[in-house]
Structure 1
Amino acid sequence: MTASMSRRQLLVTGGAAAAVLATTGLPRPAAAATPIRPGGADVVLAWNRELLAIVRTPGLQPATVHPTRSFALLHAAMHDAVVATADSGHPYLFTLEVRGHAAPEAAAAQAAHDVLAALYPSRSAELATLLTGQLAGIPPDARDRGVRAGRLVARLLLGLRANDGSAAVPPVLAPGTAPGEYRPTPPAFAPAVFTHWPAVTPFVLDQAGQFRPGPYPALDSARYARALNEVAATGRDTSTTRTADQTVQARFWAAPIWNYWNEIAQSVVAGSRSGLIDAARVFAQLNLTFADAVIAFYEAKYHYRIWRPITAVRLAADDGNPATDGIPDWSSLATTPADPAYPGAHSVVAQAGARVLSEEYGPNWALEVTSEALPNVVRRFDTFQDAADEAGLSRIPAGVHTRLDHDAGRQLGLDVAEFVLCS
């Protein structure tokens, strides 16, 4: 597997800045040498909201490019632009030597604009309007230096990721035939998605399979039977054992899980009154973790190729386990995603998000979470971990994962987050 790009070396000079590839992670910086306005975090929040709006708009996100890549590029660029112009902290990739006072807000805004304009050219007018508004009122000299720094960071980062494997044509996955092997699921029987993502170069991890979960339990084991019987009972569309709250949970968390955690981060950063440096660092850590977690879980999914519950329950008579019963007409509450089951994506990303935010703000933080899948419903949590656990476990009453998928995903998310935080 291709090595992480953060381990390569690069030197670029020219114009008003010099850039050197950094090999450090994103630890908490010392106090900024350049004063930053108290509302500076709003720059980061505005561009994160803009990207959320983009990926939620049908047709704007390329079907074969995972959205977490865009979030990682956006926030890595903003972070490195802020670090360079605030003369504080440690960059993800590029150390810029900026001559004279440069406005960090201008650098962050320009870097964000250039990244998103390159990724989503059809939104160029809206992106330009957002940039113009953020640059207004910044003293011209500091603004212009910040703009130049932001442009350089964006150009270097986009260039470095240009051949990271994300543009590859996804290979066709042959359907499995043996018990336990993944095959397309009803009702659409769509081909497996993101089959090329295990080969995408990680942002921070050394390799995609660095924290691959251990082998899936044997189909004739008691552990497998317990997990399958649990989802067979609670995840069925006509279940009589699933509680009303479990049904709400299954529907509440049904949208892309990285969107929820970016929304959670927005509320936490705003509520904590974080400044620009802190906000840029938190969002960079969060989204670099998500991007690598997605690469890692697809590597594991396509390494093991485990069947989904809807297949496993319908074909349980052939799994060699006397403790499971086949239910040929079984259907799940939610529609099953078009990829293998193990590990569970929601569990990976939610655990990663909880770990990153707990590192910055402590584990206990009262959260009000909204859902793009279940409008007008708010769920409340006392800790980041509580939210992560519910998000991951919600996929069992949804009928699309077993507890085996959740447990492996939770550990994978924790491992990736710890690595990014310590890099």
Structure 2
Amino acid sequence: MSRTPARLPVRLPAALALAAVGALALPSGAATAAEEPVDVAVEWYDVTADTVAAAGASTQVTNNRTWAIGWTAAARALRGDGRAEFQEAALAGAVHEALSALAPARATELDAALAETLDRVPDGPAEDAGLAAGRAEARALLAEREGDGLDPASVNVTFPVPQPAPGVWQPTPPAFGPALQAGTRNARPFLLSDGDQYRLAPPPAVDSARHRADLAEVAAYGSADSTVRTEQQTETAAFWYGSSLTLYTEPLRVALSRSTEDLGERAELVALFHVALVDTAIATSDSKYAYLAWRPVTALRAAGDADWTPLHVTPSHPDYPSGHGTYSGAAEGVLTALVGARTAPFELTSPTAPGVTRTYTTWRQLSRENIDARVFSGIHTRTADEAGVRLGRTVAAHTLRAAERLFG
């Protein structure tokens, strides 16, 4: 896949082009501008996003898997024929087939979207072949991924609470619920050899200076009643508190819509992004449950501050590494490699920070904010956040190196 940074497409306004050939003499009421062509990649990106939002699974990694299957199938099909009619029908057919199998409740909406796309594609053998190829690749990949352990029940297997000890994860307030996502570490990756392929080094020991510094920072900046956290830092915590999948849907769409690569390479961008995120989730779960590091709230209460409470409720799984960190690191790695480190400014909103709009020009800005946000929320140590970003970048790099194995 090309590594050329994405550029905004430049289109000469149709009215200006007509003027150049003397079209100013058109009779009153005649059309003066061509209708903007539909970008089939963005069209089916939005269909996928709407489908996952409306009928997605309860576990984030399962939804990344849905994206990965649909768009990997599309990318494979698009390598078969360069004709435009084939390409557009193949992409729509692959994503439609995958989503129909994985989100059957959206059958009516998916069928309508497919009909709309195919109505624009000239009828003929190329359209028929593309549609058949896309469907065939989706069915083959669905069969290939059957039983991969990424369904919600397999992700959230029962995990016994370990015996209390310094540094060891325990259920966290207020719900003191069971550990979540413990089963993800046993799932079958797309491109990693196994979930432990890039297992992190152990976190700092509980009696180390680094661990003490981590806890002191979270105690001061992550407390619900912090007197040192600024309004901007509180906003950052709220902005990144929600689902990473939700928050990164728009940045990936920005990258896709601004890309000037061909349709096949753009489909590969979406596929590689979500394949990397599935494999990153598996690697994250492996390190989390290998080390079972306690959360700041547990550590700070054990140290004597029995009433210490984080700004935001702590997720129910171990601290190290941060899942938000691994997600942002992997996303940054794929986007930087495939569309460039910088992009024209784009705006981003968050469902957990209503009314807030932030503007970004690099993918790394998102990672840096994720690192800070989880400290300001009081739910992760900075060490866990930074280690998470490193792990995500590592898995992203592996995904890109193995891309031909995915598509070939």
TM-score (norm 1): 0.82
- Distance (Å, rounded) in 1 between the aligned partners of 2:205 and 2:249: 36
Alpha carbons of 1:40 and 1:268: their partners in 2 closer, same or farther (altered >3 Å)?
Answer: farther
Does 2:158 align with 1:175? no
Tell me, yes or no, if the aligned pair for 1:300 and 1:342 is still in contact at 8 Å. yes
Q: Which residue of 2 aligns with 1:382?
A: 361
Q: Which residue of 2 aligns with 1:422?
A: 401
Q: Which residue of 1 aligns with 2:116?
A: 133
**Which residue type is aligned with residue 377 of structure 1?**
V
Tell me, yes or no, if the aligned pair for 1:347 and 1:406 is still in contact at 8 Å. yes
Tell me, yes or no, if the aligned pair for 2:78 and 2:90 is still in contact at 8 Å. yes
Q: Which residue of 2 aligns with 1:392?
A: 371
**Which residue type is aligned with residue 148 of structure 1?**
A
Q: Which residue of 2 aligns with 1:50?
A: 47
Q: Which residue of 2 aligns with 1:322?
A: none
2:318 aligned residue (340, 343, 348): 340
- Distance (Å, rounded) in 1 between the aligned partners of 2:278 and 2:205: 30
1:114 aligned residue (97, 102, 107): 97
Q: Which residue of 1 aligns with 2:243?
A: 256
Match of 2:79, SS state, is helix
- Distance (Å, rounded) in 1 between the aligned partners of 2:157 and 2:272: 30
Match of 1:86, SS state, is coil
Does 2:191 align with 1:213? no
- Distance (Å, rounded) in 2 between the aligned partners of 1:175 and 1:234: 29
Q: How far does the alpha carbon of each residue in 1:358-399 deviate from its partner, in whole angstroms, 9 at most, with x for none? A: 112221223322212223311122321112111232111011
Q: Which residue of 1 aligns with 2:270?
A: 283
Q: Which residue of 1 aligns with 2:143?
A: 159
Alpha carbons of 1:41 and 1:407: their partners in 2 closer, same or farther (altered >3 Å)?
Answer: farther
- Distance (Å, rounded) in 2 between the aligned partners of 1:252 and 1:410: 18
Larger radius of gyration: 2
- Distance (Å, rounded) in 2 between the aligned partners of 1:297 and 1:221: 23
- Distance (Å, rounded) in 1 between the aligned partners of 2:217 and 2:148: 40
Does 2:9 align with 1:28? no
1:352 aligned residue (330, 353, 356): 330
Alpha carbons of 1:60 and 1:368: their partners in 2 closer, same or farther (altered >3 Å)?
Answer: closer
Match of 1:380, SS state, is strand
Tell me, yes or no, if the aligned pair for 1:358 and 1:384 is still in contact at 8 Å. yes
Match of 2:120, SS state, is coil
Identity %: 35
- Distance (Å, rounded) in 1 between the aligned partners of 2:315 and 2:100: 30
- Distance (Å, rounded) in 1 between the aligned partners of 2:211 and 2:219: 12
> Displacement, 1:138?
1.2
Does 2:350 align with 1:371? yes
Does 2:62 align with 1:66? yes
Structure 2: runs of 5+ lacking an equivalent: 5-35, 403-408
Match of 2:78, SS state, is helix
- Distance (Å, rounded) in 2 between the aligned partners of 1:222 and 1:392: 20
Aligned residues: 367
Alpha carbons of 1:162 and 1:40: their partners in 2 closer, same or farther (altered >3 Å)?
Answer: farther
Alpha carbons of 1:44 and 1:372: their partners in 2 closer, same or farther (altered >3 Å)?
Answer: farther
Q: How far does the alpha carbon of each residue in 1:50-99 deviate from its partner, in whole angstroms, 9 at most, with x for none? A: 33333334x64145963211121122112112222338xxxxxxxxxxxx
Query: Greater helix percent: which structure?
Result: 2
Alpha carbons of 1:420 and 1:64: their partners in 2 closer, same or farther (altered >3 Å)?
Answer: closer
> Displacement, 1:355?
1.6
Match of 2:191, SS state, is coil
1:302-321 equivalent positions in 2, closer than 5 A: 302-316=289-303
- Distance (Å, rounded) in 2 between the aligned partners of 1:298 and 1:115: 26
Q: How far does the alpha carbon of each residue in 1:75-126 deviate from its partner, in whole angstroms, 9 at most, with x for none? A: 2112112222338xxxxxxxxxxxxx96111111011011111111111111
Match of 1:166, SS state, is coil
- Distance (Å, rounded) in 1 between the aligned partners of 2:349 and 2:397: 27
Match of 2:306, SS state, is coil
Tell me, yes or no, if the aligned pair for 1:111 and 1:154 is still in contact at 8 Å. yes
- Distance (Å, rounded) in 2 between the aligned partners of 1:115 and 1:274: 24
Tell me, yes or no, if the aligned pair for 1:350 and 1:392 is still in contact at 8 Å. no
**Which residue type is aligned with residue 343 of structure 1?**
P
In terms of mean alpha carbon deviation, does 166-175 or 209-218 score higher?
166-175
**Which residue type is aligned with residue 314 of structure 2?**
T
Give the root-mean-square deviation of aligned CA atoms.
2.2
- Distance (Å, rounded) in 2 between the aligned partners of 1:286 and 1:47: 16
In terms of mean alpha carbon deviation, does 181-190 or 211-220 score higher?
181-190
Match of 1:187, SS state, is coil
Match of 2:80, SS state, is helix
Q: Which residue of 1 aligns with 2:22?
A: none
> Displacement, 1:196?
1.1
> Displacement, 1:415?
0.6
- Distance (Å, rounded) in 2 between the aligned partners of 1:258 and 1:191: 23
Alpha carbons of 1:254 and 1:54: their partners in 2 closer, same or farther (altered >3 Å)?
Answer: farther
- Distance (Å, rounded) in 1 between the aligned partners of 2:56 and 2:245: 17
Alpha carbons of 1:261 and 1:65: their partners in 2 closer, same or farther (altered >3 Å)?
Answer: closer
> Displacement, 1:216?
1.3
Q: Which residue of 1 aligns with 2:387?
A: 408
Q: Which residue of 1 aligns with 2:25?
A: none
Match of 2:39, SS state, is helix
**Which residue type is aligned with residue 144 of structure 2?**
L
1:190-205 equivalent positions in 2, closer than 5 A: 190-205=177-192
> Displacement, 1:184?
1.5
